Chains A and B, each alone.
Chain A
Amino acid sequence: MENLGMVLALTGAALASILAGIGSAIGVGKAGQAAAGVVTEDPSKFSKVLIMQLLPGTQGIYGLLIAFITLSQIGILGGSAESLSLAKGLLYLAACLPIAIVGLLSAISQGKAAVAGIMMIAKKPDQMSKGMIFAAMVETYAILALLVSILAIFGIAGLNI
């Protein structure tokens, strides 16, 4: 089991992309349903509601970003995979958790805010940027989680354990 460290680190990367990806998929899906409803009434609002639909999609990208940084840090991407100590593997796993969990939940919440924003566009298309801000407020927390994950992962690389 001397490679367990590598397994844990990869689990972390996988979780980051899986959970954040699921969250974004749910959020974008919900917003998409609402957007389709608006477009049946008024096709000219397509581009506006499309932008709103995209907003909860960023968490998935943050998850991908963390997964990617982790993969290249532990050498799976780039082909120089060495054995990783158990402690370091666990650290990587822990470092991936903020964006994984916050990404999942915040994307779902942001999806709900985006749905409400889309409803607003249906009635008052000129107020669109306010709707975008409401949805973007939720994303702040995903960004904070992303930041912690990034800083932690870069920090772990320098540790000698």
Chain B
Amino acid sequence: MKVPMSRITIYGNKKDRKAVLEFLQRRQCVDISEPDAENAKLGFSTMNTSESQSEFARERVIGEKAIDILEKYAPSEKGLLSSFEGRRSLSAEEYYMYVDDIPEMMNIAVRITDAEEEIAERRAQIVRRMSELDELSPWLPLDVSLSEDGTKDTSCIIGTFPEALTEEKLLERYLSAEDAPPIHAEIVNVMPQQTCVFILCAKKHAADCENRLRAIGFSKMKTSFSGVPAERTAQIQKEIDALNSEIGALEKEIASYKGAASSLRFMVDYYTMRTEKYNVLSMLSQRNKVFVITGCVPKEAASSLAATLEHEYNAAVETEDADGDAPVLLKNKYLTEPVEGIVKTFAMPAMGEIDPTGIMAFFYYILFGMMLSDAAYGLIMTLGCFFAIKKFKNMEPDMKKTLRMFMYCGISTMFWGVMFGSYFGDVVPTVSRTFFGKEVTIPPLWFEPVKDPMKMLMFSFVIGIVHLFTGLGVKLYQCIKAKDWAAAFGDCIFWYMLVGGGILYLFRVDMFLSMAGLTTKLPAVWGTVAAVIAGIGALGILLFTAPQNKMGKRLAKGAYSLYGVTSWLSDILSYSRLLALGLATGVIATVFNKMGSMFGGGVVGAIIFIIVFVIGHTLNLGINALGAYVHTNRLQFVEFFGKFFEGGGREFKPFAAHTKYYKFKEEI
């Protein structure tokens, strides 16, 4: 159901502003709204806090970045199921201790991000040095400096040929030209694509020599570094080592802040809270010494909230019942509560709409169970969710709701599994036949869908019709409550007659009877009655869909609405997925059992069977539970909600601390 809301107006002294805001943030029960435009005329103004908000956001981002970096160099131990663990709650004492730490934490966060940058810079330098090493490596045998010019009378030319050459071949080529000045050539290094050479000639011939060499493919070494290659290499290696050790030191430094991780997390939460608080601050109407907060609060919480505000915070409070466009908070109990999340993902009920959670929950469990329909899978789901809820007491409420929902879905799955006689598919007969030589079967309580798919299909349609008619019933209820009689008849009652009459008439149609496996054909008068009911329904829809319009338009709109009967047909047919998905679970389970039992009895057979069984059924359970979830949602959203629910209400979002790591208890 929807929680009734009160509109609350709080008038306070400016000096209590901080305390009041902090109190409201802790209570988490007021959805604060934008100030009334009228207030401006009375001399009230609002504060612009966007600058501080972005400053807080910036600090939060630094903190988050530091936490990520810290996680990289000093990972915190996380269990496999850590996502079930909720936020830790902090006592007041811890809270203030952490608040005192914040300036220091900010320094640490900045230091961590800086250190990360320094590491990145050093890594880039190492890459540069490495490529230099690559360039130098062919020149290692050379024992003079690469930028060596020669002596008083000689010149040395150092460079490469783009092919593999020997000393003889090089000289032969060089000397083949006319009056080439004499040279001395030494091959430093030969590779298939490159030959490094050291050439010595008389100084006076240097230019000539070089030109001639160039003509046969030589190119001079262009170098940015001087020195003997081997020495230079050793030097670079030393530099790289130094950089590496610096990186190591920086990494160690970052890791040394591991102890600060929890304070850093607090800092992120703290700035998140402050951002939210300042956002609310910008929504207050303020004048000289007073401020005004307007918002919505659940009616049941209103009086105690008002009392506390008046007594402890010296504020004046006015409450009144909220009108229709108040934000919506859903509240349900026991079995129906967990499905709230599903409704929320669709939409919040709008004004005049009821909260569909309660009605929907019942069908949700039934539909999910029918789609998965295996007793063993249901048991696994139920137990898994049950123990997760028991083990992680501190779990976040939304997570807990989801797990509870799947637990109830599991119970329903067990129920349908027993009805349809499916336990890990057909594992009982398969195992007893393969390993014990005697086939044992557990008979279904009702019938086996694989043996009689038509019966299952008919049953699926029956469930579908009940589901759809319930949805239409909700619409009827809403219309009556709104005293919209035209809609009550035109959109609901006549549709009941048309669709209901049509379904009843089917019991006179031979084709349907043979499909459904029914033998008794009802008397002709039944058909007449059914046809008359459907006829009245159709006529009613034609006439009363748009009674406020002129006759021509009215009939046209009615006819268009009547065309909607095709959507009823497709809606009902859509429930055939109950059969298809139910069979899918059972048949795939059977396939895995068969695969496992192919190796016969005995120890080896048993081991292989267990392996295939565990992997196969894990896979099958996973994929079919996902399928059941998705398609149950679809049946609810498209078929069921399509009949009565549009949504569009605003969700109740109280002013609170939406923190990531810690929860803060009431008394802080």
Contact = CB atoms under 8 A, between A and B. Distances in A.
Contacts of A64: 588, 591
Interface in B325-360: 342, 345
A74 interface: no
Contacts of A93: none
A132 interface: yes
Interface in A58-77: 58, 61-62, 64-65, 68-69, 77
A77 B630 contact: no
B453 A140 contact: no
B580 A150 contact: yes
B580 A129 contact: no
A136 interface: yes
Nearest to B591: A68
Contacts of A36: none
Contact of A144 (B573, B594, B626, B634): B573
A143 B591 contact: no
Contacts of B627: 58
Nearest to A66: B587
Contact of A51 (B345, B454, B626): B626
B630 A136 contact: yes
B634 A133 contact: yes
Given A65-B584, A133-B637, A143-B576, A55 B345 contact: no
Interface string A136-147: 110110011011
A151 B626 contact: no
A140 to B, nearest CB: 7
Contact of B634 (A58, A61, A137): A137
Contacts of B583: 65, 150
Interface residues of A, number: 29
B65 interface: no
B631 interface: yes
Given A61-B588, A129-B345, A136-B630, A151 B623 contact: no
Nearest to A149: B580
A62 B584 contact: yes
B633 A132 contact: yes
Contacts of A51: 626
B579 interface: yes
A120 interface: no
Contact of A61 (B577, B579, B584, B633): B584
B189 to A, nearest CB: 42
B457 interface: yes
B574 interface: yes
Nearest to B574: A140
B586 to A, nearest CB: 9
A151 B457 contact: yes
A151 B452 CA distance: 10
Given A144-B576, A147-B579, A58 B453 contact: no
A54 B626 contact: yes
Nearest to A135: B630
Nearest to A132: B630
A64 B623 CA distance: 14
Interface string A105-122: 000000000000000000
B587 A68 contact: yes
Interface in A69-100: 69, 77
Interface in B152-198: none
A69 B637 CA distance: 32
Given A61-B588, A61-B623, A65-B584, 14 more contacts: A58-B584, A65-B583, A65-B587, A68-B587, A129-B345, A133-B630, A137-B634, A139-B631, A140-B577, A143-B577, A147-B457, A150-B579, A154-B453, A154-B454
Interface of A: 51, 54-55, 57-58, 61-62, 64-65, 68-69, 77, 127-130, 132-133, 136-137, 139-140, 143-144, 146-147, 150-151, 154
13 contacts: A55-B630, A62-B584, A65-B588, A129-B633, A133-B638, A137-B634, A143-B577, A144-B573, A144-B576, A146-B584, A147-B580, A150-B583, A154-B453
* 3 closest cross-chain pairs (CB), A and B: A129-B345, A136-B630, A143-B577
